[in-house]
Structure 1
Amino acid sequence: MSVRNLEHLFAPHSVAVIGASIRPHSVGATVLRNVLAGGFKGPVYPVNPKYDTLCGLRTYSGVDALPEAPGLAIICTPAQTVPGIVRQLGAAGTRAAIILSAGMGAHTGADGRTLKDAALDAARPYVLRLLGPNCVGLLVPGIGLNASFAHSDASPGRIAFVSQSGGMVTAVLDWARSRGIGFSKFISLGESADVDFGDVLDYLASDAETTSILMYMEDVRHARKFMSAARAAARSKPVLVLKAGRMPEGARAAASHTGALAGSDDVYDAAIRRAGMLRVFTTEDMFAAVETLARARTRGGERLAIMTNGGGPGVMAADALAAAGGKLAALSPATLASLDAVLPPTWSHANPVDIIGDAPAGRYCDTLDVLLKDPDNDAVLFIHAPTAIVPSADIARAVAPLATAASRNVLGCWLGGDGVAEARRIFSAAGIAAYDTPEEAISAFMQIAQYRRNQDLLMQVPPAVSVNVAEGRAAAAGVVRAVLAAGRSMLTEPEAKAVLDAYGIPVVATRTAADVDAAVQAASAIGFPVAVKILSPDITHKSDVGGVALDLDSEEAVRAAAGRMLRRLGQLKPGARLEGFTVQSMARRPQAHELIVGVASDPVFGPVILFGQGGVAVEVTADHAVGLPPLNAVLARDMVSRTRVARLLAGYRNRPPADIDAIVRVLMQVSQLVADIPELAELDINPLLADSDGVIALDARIRVELADHTACALDRLAIRPYPAELEEQIDWNGEAVLLRPIRPEDGPAHLEFFAALTPDDVRYRMFVRVRELQPSQLARFTQIDYDREMAFVATRALPGGGEQTLGVARVVADPDNIQAEFAVTVRSDLKGHGLGRILMEKLIAYCRKRGTREIVGEALPQNTRVIKLVRKLGFVVTPNPAEDSVHLSLPLD
């Protein structure tokens, strides 16, 4: 990933249009006209050897004839000419170019490489950034830059729009212009040969002119890069995604149910959710969500109270909320009593709160005041239909101050047209989101709720090592190696269960039998009743060929069932190899639910984990959720909650709730298995029985394939898990101390560590006086993206269990890994004993190994201990009196 030289793309000092023309309807003529009409203040250089002047400007014969290296070049020439032009631009000193030319991926040279590859090769030595090819270009309205062949200009604004589709670029420009929506950046990526979503997200995340980012996405090519950039951007501003290709293309051929169920759209949905972004499904929803989120309060929660002056609109809102999976707040007895005191006896006495159509402005205010004080709701939807009793605008003026002062979200819905237009404007001017219909308002509320959920998930960067499976890891890896050495890709059922058992996943006792007699003997040894299944590497789903018999309660029943299986297999699959039978005890759990837990390999995002309702009809029920590993308890529990079967697992009638914690542990253990075994391609645990006593896997299917061990096994994961390999046990002044990367679970210990710092030490670390860490700050410190930042903590074991944090050193690298900013803090009562140096030396070694070029930091002049420490470590210390700070830098290359 890289943001290098992107400032030349978005804020150039000059622009060259290469291939400029006056030929009607040509790209070169359109681009030159747009650049000049946009109001760009810098020099514009048309380049075309056929002309002396174009549009009153001197025109140059080629790049070498230009008076200076242009800050940005827009290339409008035929595809064959582009690599040569890029090379000339790079040599001249240009560092950004937009390639509008199409067809560069189709043309190949004598060496078999495409023109797109040749252009990248030409740009690489100069770090010349390329947008496109085959794109519409970009617009930066704030500086009057229209470097595109779009048919319309864009107005200045605070929204950045990024699109892979040129058609969407022009359509959205038209749509937004008709509605008065402006943009900070408007970017067409085209084929993303160089600059892609990850690069643009990194740039826009720190762009002061951009407050929201909208993306039209068709595909992602570099999952790890995209996820890191998306998570970083979504931490600082709302990021909304309109993802094309929602409809499934049909089940993929796969050796597992999971492989068939985990369609690419499910995976993209999981990635968007995990990155803390919000997915929308129409252009109108996208821009509506921008306004909604921009006005939304930070308070979370999903319980909605509805107040209305008409029963019908309230019922419509409640119906829409239920259909969207929202929660209608329950009114407490205290709230009901307060409402009784301010409302007429005929009010609805329930949520929705119908305050009756004759309500004066005071009744609206009194009702809203009660609801805003109610601890049992998280947001209020205000619905008003116009009446002849009180002008709607008067009600809006009366209610707006209450709504703007509220700590929770208040959404307005003004039903009607001209009669409520002024009321709607009053709400909008006060910063209160206002909608035309109850359905629109509910859709907006659910967008807020989903966005908050995704933001919560964004802060979860879990460790892969969630259970102690060191011995089990070796045993499982041994099974996989043996299968691959035998030339097989499918594990037998006993082998698959051995792998699960090694990771602590409960499995039903299973034995292998070579023939019918051996199956009878195995059944007698296990004890009746038993289940018998055929064992064949050529049969993926045994029930499809009658290869499963349950509840066999005698030797005769086992013998008869095994014989029927042999005959049926010979009829349906005469060429199938039969290796015998598996015999297992029957799991007598009449109130258990059948679930599925699985793993599939996505071509973009790598391994994904699936959870849902299991059984033989799993594809028909299609009740499942997909998540990206690694998982922790919060993420695993979220996956469970997103399925319909979750409501059954919660218990009903006389059926007790299932052990959700046991299900969550299985998901975490499977996540660990994914991280540890790079050969794992597909996995099914189906059914996984779950009831109040726990879980047990009845059947398991695993497919493996050779893995490239020359690369990092974790690189196939879209999110880097906890790097356990960086843990290090040291002796510190006679005491055993563990140096390790920080984990999300370190939150409580980190709070205690912060509380042990003196006020001066807090000020030295944070440059301001802070009494306590806010939850968002704590999450930011402990839940990090290991692909971009690192925090090493020194911990010691406490006598009663748990760990105590003694010190922390952290470093955050820029997207290009050129410069990384560090900070180091040691408990105030432990300073002066060498722990800070130990942490810094580990941090420096880590940065060297990652290829970071320079470590930098800032310190207050009074922080003499840190300044003295880093000076001993080779840092250059430079006073910065203007900022009342000291700059610290350590070159590593």
Structure 2
Amino acid sequence: MSVRNLKHLFEPRSVAVIGASIRPHSVGATVLQNMVSGGFEGEIIPVNPKYDTLAGLKVYSSVSHLPSAPDLAIICTPPSTVPEIIKDLGALGTRAAIVLTAGLGTIKDLRGRTMKDLMLAAAKPHLLRILGPNCVGLLVPKIGLNASFAHTSALPGKIAFVSQSGAMVTGVLDWARSRGIGFSKFISLGDSADIDFGDVLDYLASDSDTQAILMYMEAASAARKFMSAARAAARAKPTLVIKAGRAPEGAKAAASHTGALAGADDVYDAAIRRAGMLRVYSTTDLFDAAETLARARPMKGDRLAIMTNGGGPGVMATDALIAQQGRLANLSEQALAKLDEILPGTWSHGNPVDIIGDAPAQRYVDTLGALLQEPEADATLFIHAPTAIVPSAEIAQAVAPVIKDAPRNVLACWLGGDSVAQARAIFSDAGIATYDTPEEAVRGFMQIAEYHRNQSLLMEVPPSVPHAAQDDRDEAREVVQRVLAAGRNMLSEPEAKQVLAAYGIPVVQTRSARSVEEAVQHAAEIGFPVALKIISPDITHKSDVGGVVLDLADEAAVAAAAVGMNRRLRELRPGAKLQGFSVQSMVRRPEARELIVGVTTDAVFGPVILFGQGGIAVEVTADHAIALPPLNMVLARDLVTRTRISRLLAAYRNLEAADVDAVCRTLIQISDLVVDIPEIAELDINPLLADGNGVIALDARIRVVRARGSGVDRLAIRPYPGELEEQIAWQGRPLVLRPIRPEDGPQHVEFFGMLEPDDIRYRMFISMRSLSKSDLARFTQIDYDREMAFIATRPREDGVSETLGVARVIADPDNISAEFAIIVRSDLKGKGLGGLLLNKLIEYCRSRGIHEIVGETISHNHGLLMLAKKFGFVTIPGGGSDTTGLRLELVAARASAS
């Protein structure tokens, strides 16, 4: 269930208030009063058997006595009455309800069924959508709808606010009204028994009245649905989140370092980032960021140039920038030379650029012009403190046009009160992001930087096919299945390293020994020195019980170490079982950094990957970052750079830089492993040594469980579906039909350039000469859980692949109806390629359980009309006088051609 019937919730023409009352301080009385006083232009229908009239309105005794079905019902009656009311509303034809009543999950009938379950069962046959229960309600100021028991109304505006907390709803509503902030939609989700974040995000993403979406979140459910909806919304408009529950106490004990480190808040942070949204940490930041992002231009980095007419404010801005992990732009020699020409000899000769307090308006204009040409800066911060020499308003009048036409972001800070009020108003009227303090301005800049960084990650769609060879993958699976068959859930260290090696991760040579004598024999065969470790399913961290001894130089040392380990284990953990010893060669890499790479399984978002500083103090240093699989090089590198240890991977003093690409490849290999083997619940490589020669895993731990589905099914983000690739022969040459990938962008631009203008107009209903960057991203960087685009591709004589045609289908969030489009390179029309693509698209839609495929084309696009008819499509009137609609019912229809 997703956006179906939500129009009745957000755009009702009639509203029934069930449980309406005049009893003071009751929910029913408050809701009715809010509905009547809110200015709702539709019909308001009170329902309560105790009254004949309320607020001048006729009251009906029950739902069954209503003369017609209201679009929306607001229910504020006792829990036990709700299921029957929902049943009656559904039978009458109502398709949306707001259940304000609390306690439906705790009250049960005689058969043990909760009122919430009975309510949902009653709604399901009628597709009746439910907001709540246990919510404050809904406000849509544009139509005067106040379907809530909030203590105040909302002003109209362009921001949608969605909250799981009723207290946050009323608090933010009061806070925003006092500041003149308006809303397009104000939504309290409550218990989200039916309508949840995913549903609301899907609706708001295409809501023309909403320019930005703000969310207060405590917990998400249905991770794949939430991530798909969040990514769609974040592509369409700024989507910002306050996530409650940041304290680490919620982390559960686990059988690995990763499980202990990856708290739920870290996982939510990773999900929010990966979805292209922005996380903020206060209500003020939430609304400030919405305004900032609405005015921001795209930005690639976090290098800030600061210009100021006083040294102090520049220093304050610099301190704030560094504290928030931003960077001061290193001004180029050309920029410094230009500034030398413009500014007095006493200027700061660096960034921040202090233009001196006596600066006339033209000096501001010239300096800003020079900084806007500086390639080493991603944005500029303009700071002005009032002086008696030049009025601030005069400076604002001169500078505002320059900033308004600037090719990059310029943020402004007017320090002061009344003396800069007019200047601040001039900037605000010009649409320039304006702040009261340098710290606030820097925070706004960093919000833009993080938002655009998250937006770039949103576009990444990694492959689902592991890079390891099939034989190696089979070997890894066999190890896991053998462990589960033996009744174990922890792999021994040698077994874990065998799995890692099967996926191409370098591991130190390791052997398993069942006795002291066998350990000595293996050590001699490996070659000294060696390391010796205990193998015990009852010991998570071997060093805690003296279960690790390094640099053993001969056979006697190995024997003595093994005997000592056995003794210490009996003394410290008498109940622990010793299964044997792990013998491995000693690795001499003095310049190596100790890293940790791990996997744990989150209850909501499934597998997550952790990277950070490794070693025995890993929990103490707590230097780590989290990402959702699947990964590619861009996502892996982003994961690495979000840790402090990443700085130590670079060269410093006499230390050679570590091979960061090798680290990233390891992260991708771990991602592939998680996708391919769903039984893996937790994994640790600690330490993973990294230096200039690459990486090597010294220690590994893997926990497995019986799998309930495929590796792909448990991921929050659907990876590239490599299983849909198909190679066929076409015109005597091999042709590949496969899903489109982000890296197909260059070929897609070339393909578009070979289309004739009429073909483009037939496909898009408009004339286009080239693809914009946003168009290209929309066509090639898709959410495979919601849409599909198959391309026909083949290699040219120079070995470079070329795109010959594209068939695209986008399903509605309910997976009921899917809209299709198809286009073939103009010089290849009439050769059967369109039929190949359309047939693959139809079979894909059938496999997904989609009910119908629909489309629309210009009426004289005879080629597509004939092709569609060949595959069983029927024509229907289009949305315009010169368009024709197409529909294929998949349940009954069968393709008549291949």
TM over 0.5: yes
Residue 822 (structure 1) aligned to one of 795, 820, 823: 820
Q: Which whole-Å CA distance do the structure 2 matches of 1:875 and 1:75 have between them?
A: 44
CA deviation profile, 1:444-487 (whole Å, cap 9, x unmatched):
00000000001001111211225243222211111111000000
How far residue 550 of structure 1 moved from its aligned partner, in angstroms, is 1.2
Q: Is residue 299–residue 407 contact of structure 1 (8 Å, CA) maintained in 2?
A: no
1:762 is matched with: 760
Match of 1:889 in 2: 887
Change (3 A) 1:797 1:866: same
Q: Give the partner amino acid of 1:717.
A: L
Q: How far did 1:301 drift?
A: 2.6
- Give 1:880 deviation, angstroms: 4.0
Deviation at 1:883, TM superposition (A): 4.9
- Residue in 1 that maps onto 2:789: 791
- Measured in 2, the distance between the counterparts of 1:714 and 1:690 equals 30
The residue aligned with 1:741 is 739
The aligned counterpart of 2:235 is 235
Whole-Å separation in 2 of the counterparts to 1:887 and 1:122: 36
**TM-score (normalised: structure 1):** 0.98
Alpha-carbon distance, 1:799 to partner: 6.0
Give the C-alpha shift of residue 557 in structure 1.
1.9
Q: Does 1:859 align with 2:857?
A: yes
In 2, distance between residues paired with 1:288 and 1:3?
Answer: 29
Secondary structure, aligned partner of 1:67? coil
The answer to whether the 8 A contact 1:463-1:744 is kept is: no
Between 862-871 and 378-387, report the one with greater CA deviation. 862-871
Structure 2 equivalent of residue 407 of structure 1 = 407
- What is the CA-CA distance between 1:717 and the residue it aligns to? 1.0
Contact 2:807 2:823 in 1 (8 A): yes
Q: CA deviation at 1:90?
A: 0.6
Q: Distance in 2 between matches of 1:783 and 1:883?
A: 33
* 1:204 correspondence with 2:213: no
The CA distance in 2 between the partners of 1:657 and 1:233, in whole Å, is 40
Equivalent residue letter for 1:762 = I
Which residue in the other structure is 1:178 paired with?
Answer: 178
Secondary structure of the 1:714 match is: coil
4+ residue runs over 6 A deviation: none
> Which one is further off, 554-563 or 287-296?
554-563
1: distance between equivalents of 2:593 and 2:801?
Answer: 38
Aligned to 1:503: 503
Q: How far is 1:673 from its partner?
A: 0.8
Alpha-carbon distance in structure 2 between the residues aligned to 1:92 and 1:886 = 35
* Pick aligned residue for 2:778 from 758, 777, 780: 780
Inter-partner Cα distance in structure 1 for 2:796 and 2:552: 53
The unaligned stretches of length 5 or more in structure 1 are none
Aligned counterparts, 1:137-148, within 5 A:
137-148=137-148
Counterpart-to-counterpart distance in 2, 1:695 and 1:768: 53
Return the alpha-carbon distance in structure 1 between the equivalents of residues 585 and 777 of structure 2: 46
Q: Secondary structure at the match of 1:663?
A: helix
Letter of the structure 2 residue corresponding to residue 297 of structure 1:
R
Residue 721 of structure 2 corresponds to 723
- Alpha-carbon displacement from aligned partner over 1:515-547 (angstroms, at most 9, x marks no partner): 122111111111111111111222121111111
TM-score in terms of structure 2 length: 0.97
Which shifted more, 864-873 or 592-601? Answer: 864-873
Asked if 1:869 corresponds to 2:870, the answer is: no
User: Equivalent residues in 2 for 1:283-302 (5 A)?
Assistant: 283-302=283-302
Aligned to 1:252: 252
Aligned-partner SS, 2:607: strand
Instruction: Give the secondary-structure state (helix, strand or coil) at the position aligned to 1:629.
Output: coil
**Per-residue displacement from partner, 1:712-738 (whole Å, max 9, x unpaired)?**
542211111122222222222332222
Aligned residue in 2 for 1:21: 21
The range that moved more, 719-728 or 215-224, is 719-728
Distance 2:156 2:588 in 1: 67
Q: Which runs of 5+ in 2 are unaligned?
A: 892-898
User: What is the DSSP-based 3-state SS (H/G/I as helix, E as strand, rest coil) of the residue aligned with 1:401?
Assistant: helix
Of 28-37 and 579-588, more deviation after overlay is shown by 579-588
What residue in structure 2 maps to residue 530 of structure 1?
530
Number of the residue aligned with 2:895: none
SS of 1:508's partner is coil
Residue equivalent to 1:550:
550
Determine if the alignment matches structure 1 residue 519 to structure 2 residue 529: no
Q: 1:347-366 to 2 correspondence within 5 Å?
A: 347-366=347-366
- The answer as to whether partners of 1:464 and 1:631 remain within 8 angstroms in 2 is no
Alpha-carbon RMSD across the aligned residues, in angstroms, is: 1.4
Q: Are residue 106 (structure 1) and residue 106 (structure 2) matched?
A: yes
Would the alpha carbon gap of residues 803 and 353 (structure 1) be closer, same or farther in structure 2, given more than 3 Å must change? same
Is it true that 1:663 corresponds to 2:663 in the alignment?
yes
Deviations 1:403-446 (A, max 9, x none): 10101111110111111111111110000011010000000000
Secondary structure, aligned partner of 1:249 = helix
2:753 maps to amino acid:
A
Question: For residue 64 of structure 1, what is the aligned residue in structure 2?
Answer: 64
Q: Give the letter aligned to residue 415 of structure 1.
A: L
Match of 2:896 in 1: none
2-side partners of 1:760 and 1:591: how far apart? 62
| Displacement of 1:801 | 4.9
The equivalent of 1:316 in structure 2 is: 316
Separation in structure 2 between the aligned mates of residue 565 and residue 882 of structure 1, nearest angstrom: 82
2:842 to 841, 844, 848: 844
AA at the equivalent of 2:727:
Q
1:354, 1:259 → 2: CA distance?
49
In structure 1, the residue matched to 2:304 is 304
Question: Which residue is 2:31 aligned to?
Answer: 31
Tell me the equivalent position of 1:45: 45
Specify the SS of the correspondent of 2:880.
helix
- Paired residues, number: 891
The separation in 2 between residues aligned to 1:554 and 1:748, in whole angstroms, is 59
Q: Is the 8 A contact 1:857 1:887 kept in 2?
A: yes
Contact 2:492/2:701 (CA < 8 Å) preserved in 1?
yes
CA contact (8 A) 2:8 2:72 kept: yes
| Distance verdict in 2 for CA 1:553–1:774, change over 3 Å | farther
Q: SS where residue 626 of structure 1 aligns?
A: strand
1:123, distance to aligned residue in structure 2 (A): 0.6
In the TM superposition, 1:187-586 aligns within 5 A as 187-249=187-249, 251-465=251-465, 467-586=467-586
Q: Which moved more, 1:276-285 or 1:736-745?
A: 736-745
Distance in 1 between residues matched to 2:876 and 2:70, nearest whole Å = 35
Deviations 1:723-766 (A, max 9, x none): 22222222223322222222222223323333333333333333
AA matched with 1:128: L
- The 5 A counterparts of 1:671-682 are 671-682=671-682
CA separation in 2, counterparts of 1:850 and 1:365? 59
The question of whether the paired residues in 1 share the 8 Å contact of 2:299 and 2:448 is answered with no
Q: Which amino acid aligns with 1:235?
A: R
- Contact kept, 8 Å, 1:530 with 1:551, in 2: the verdict is yes
Amino acid at match of 1:471: D
Instruction: Report what 2:894 is aligned to.
Output: none
Contact 1:35–1:145 under 8 Å retained in 2: yes
- Matched AA of 1:556: A
Deviates more, 1:855-864 or 1:84-93: 855-864
Distance 1:304 1:88, change over 3 A: same
Which amino acid is the alignment partner of residue 125 of structure 1? P
Matches within 5 A, 1:614-763: 614-708=614-708, 711-763=709-761
Q: Check if 1:54 corresponds to 2:54.
A: yes
Cα distance in 2 for partners of 1:72, 1:542 equals 62
- Percent identity at matched positions? 70
